[in-house]
Amino acid sequence: MIKKFFATAATFALVLTSTNLLPSAATNAEKPTNVNPVDYAKDINLNPMLEALVKSSTGVAIKTVDFKQGVKYDFAASNNMTGFTNDSADNPISVEIQNGTQLTTQEIDAIAADDGKTAITKSSNGFPSQRFVVDVSKDITAGNEIELYWKGKTLSSGLANLSAWDYKASTWIALSQVEGNQNNDEIVLSSEIDLERFVKDGKIQAMVHDSGTLTDSKDKDFTMLWFSDTQYYAEDYPEVWTSMTDWMIEEFKKGRYEYAMHTGDLVNQYDKPEQWEVAKENLDRMDAANIPYGVLAGNRDVMPDRTQKVYDYTLFGKYAGLDRFKDKPWFGEAMNEQNQNHYDLFSFGDHDFIMLYLGFGKDGTSESVEWANKVLEQYADHNAILGMHENINSLAQYVTESARIVNREIVNPNKNVKMVLSGHHHGSNYRVKQVKNEDGTDREVLEVLGNYQGNLADDRGQGYLRLLTFDPTDETLDFVSYSPYLNDFDFDQFDQAKESFTANFDLADVEAKPNPRQIETDYMAVNIYTDQLIGQDTNLKPGEIASTQWKDLTEKTTYQWYMNITNASDESEKSPIYQFTTGLKEPEPEPEPVPTEPTFPDVTPEKPDWAYEAIERMAARGIIEGYPDKTFKWRNSIERQHVSLMFTRALPELKSKAPYQYFSDVPKNHKYFEPIMATQQAGIVEGYQNKFRPAGMLTRQEMAKVLVIAFDIEEKGTHTFPDVDPNGWSDPYIDALYAAGITIGSPNGKFNPKADVTRAEFAVFMDRSLKYTEKE
């Protein structure tokens, strides 16, 4: 089995300095997508169209998008930036500027681009830092705004800090800070800075460092959460369990508690899949929130007939077995593949814990006793808590031989066992048991019962759980019962003195642990947001592309730009700064002929105005010809045979050749035999059950597929259409079409994947695809 160690996030140091962090504004604008030209694009024409899809998270319209010039100072863009690393005993934000060691060529190369390559500065007991000096003198102009931007990582126990040197106050000023994370994901620190305070002689001093966890965490309070016997929630009151999970997720995010445990009876009837699905939904949500937790099997989870003492762990193993927990960082080891017993390992600061779970029906067996004693001896230096489904009853008595065996043969012989938690019996009670250790010393073992599942229907949906807060200073443990569903403390049917109480808890003696720290930079930049306007787009509806043209640029020159996005409430937010490099000047293309009058009598500039130009271009290129009566019939759905015909006209290289793989409904004398065979052999179209259905209609999702294949569209991106199944066959094709800017969906933000494509719509999409291909 995999054995891992897990340290909780509650002991993070959140204090940098007495100086307040500089404020940052926030709006409801989302990060732009479908940006064109793409960042770092090359060989862009000298009159590029700047475009992006800008949206509000609330779905309201965007009032204005101002396209402006920007400047990025990073190691890739200029020689005006130098960097240093340092490892100091003092928090670097509290001292003068330290010289440090200059970054190596390899480190500079790693920091030059946002590409996942990183430059790492480590420290064992000090404070690792990286300092950057940036000369921005040529872009110091009134109205320009300066932003520091850092992207990288720190340890899961770390705290990454971004600061800047205040030349007026002669001190470092904390700007932004973010905790590390268990997934080792990259984090971003950014902040605007004031020109008068933070720039001198054209230079900026910026620093990132890891201030890590506190080394005195052995005295910091910490909290666990305990809930049990959710069987009636799974059977009849799923909304109660949902409310508990909602609350647990929110409180975990706030740092209210750091570990959760469930002591059995996830469901009421072990052979009812619908009850297990309720349990699964809530456990899945806890997993998604990265809450460290463990569960054990109660009698309802494994035993169809208590009198027969038959213990079937099959469904428990499926829904709460090894596959759910084996890769969790806190999971220690299971006794067997059925996960009948297991233990978790975790720490609160410097306090190490083992939580030993004994499943119902196995808790008093000789196999379990031998296994549990081996584990507890292996982790004798850890504070041990036992979780059982049935231990004491509501009168604080043992009523089963299994409970007596566990206490006699597991709890009593192991000096590190401090507490036993159990449910099963309706009630709330506890007792303190005096135990004589093998070395002659005495210890207390706290045994606690907590089960709020009453036998009467009215008592089965209360939703109470327990919070256990440890105080290492005076070695006490506070129990508090609370129902998120009722927003109520202490179940009024139980003895209030046994609901919320304080008991002694003798924590194992600890010393402060070594405190490794690390700062890891992927990308560092100083962004200058100028006030030089390129162009503006206004009154954008949700899903519309903002655009403006940047004219008369110079050959082989790098340009940088950004957008200032303003919503209807006049709140503004800046986009990242994007850059591209122009190519050589191209000869002016001959303008496409503009017909003096519409090609088709039923297609005019006024109707359909959104498709008129595309239809005319397609007609001018001979891709569409219309019907014998000279009309285009733009409202009609397009037939599959006409799709094949239009592809062979747009792509003359498409030719069929024998041998043919015939469709049963497309004989060789079919009017469109050659186009259908050509597009089939090119992999653009395909049939179903040996039929092509030439007169059948093409859906919008089928259209996405044939366009992506025909024009080799390989753009990467993710659409935002709520009516497209993300696991469906058409999703990757719609993704590519969306990323290429060929589709933005309907005005209501949907794609309507199963709707038929009209002839006008297909002409527009074919026109955009041809433009995309020619541009590429």
What would the 3-class secondary structure string for 552-614 be?
CCCCCCEEEEEEEEEECCCCEEECCCEEEEECCCCCCCCCCCCCCCCCCCCCCCCCCCCCHHH
pLDDT at position 595 is 53
In this predicted structure, the answer to whether residue 284 has a pLDDT above a threshold of 50 is yes
Angle at 228 between CA 225 and CA 233, to 5 degrees: 115
pLDDT at position 305 is 67
Task: Find the mean pLDDT for residues 251-279.
Answer: 94
Q: Looking at per-residue confidence, does 439 or 133 come out higher? A: 133
Q: Looking at per-residue confidence, does 563 or 311 come out higher? A: 563
- pLDDT per residue over 172-205, tens digit each? 999 999 988 888 899 999 999 999 999 999 999 9
pLDDT at position 10 is 32
In this predicted structure, the answer to whether residue 135 has a pLDDT above a threshold of 90 is yes
Q: Which tokens go with 98?
A: 């330290």
In this predicted structure, the answer to whether residue 464 has a pLDDT above a threshold of 70 is yes
In this predicted structure, the answer to whether residue 437 has a pLDDT above a threshold of 50 is yes
pLDDT at position 693 is 93
Q: Strand 417-422 vs strand 442-451: parallel, antiparallel, or unpaired?
A: parallel
pLDDT at position 646 is 92
Tell me which residue has tokens 């504070």.
383
Task: Find the mean pLDDT for residues 335-344.
Answer: 90
- Percent with pLDDT over 90 in the chain: 67
Decide: 770 and 651 in contact? Cβ < 8 Å.
no
Closest by Cα among 333, 389, 381 to 359: 389
Task: Find the mean pLDDT for residues 746-756.
Answer: 85
- pLDDT per residue over 673-693, tens digit each? 999 999 999 999 998 888 999
29-43, 111-125, 298-312 — which is least confidently predicted? 298-312
pLDDT at position 145 is 93
pLDDT at position 6 is 31
pLDDT at position 4 is 26
User: Which domains does the chain carry?
Assistant: 1-213+517-586 (no CATH), 218-504 (3.60.21.10), 612-775 (no CATH)
- pLDDT per residue over 700-733, tens digit each? 999 999 999 999 988 888 888 889 999 999 999 9
Chain-centroid distance of CA 229 in Å reads 31
In this prediction, residue 15 has a pLDDT band, given cuts at 50, 70 and 90, of very low
* Kind plus residue range of the DSSP H or E element containing 446: strand 442-451
Q: Which tokens go with 196?
A: 């008068």
In this prediction, residue 101 has a pLDDT band, given cuts at 50, 70 and 90, of very high
pLDDT at position 681 is 92
* Kind plus residue range of the DSSP H or E element containing 731: helix 731-739
Q: Which tokens go with 444?
A: 């207390």
Give whole-number Cα distances, 185 to 6, 158, 522, in Å: 17, 13, 12
Task: Find the mean pLDDT for residues 619-639.
Answer: 91
Strand partners, 62: 540, 567
Which residues, at least 6 apart from 231, have a Cβ–Cβ distance to it below 8 Å? 265, 266, 267, 268, 275, 298, 300, 453
Single-letter code of the amino acid located at 19: T
Chain-centroid distance of CA 733 in Å reads 23
Q: Where are the extended beta strands (E) located within 89-230?
A: 101-102, 119-123, 127-135, 145-154, 159-166, 171-179, 187-193, 203-210, 222-227
pLDDT at position 709 is 92
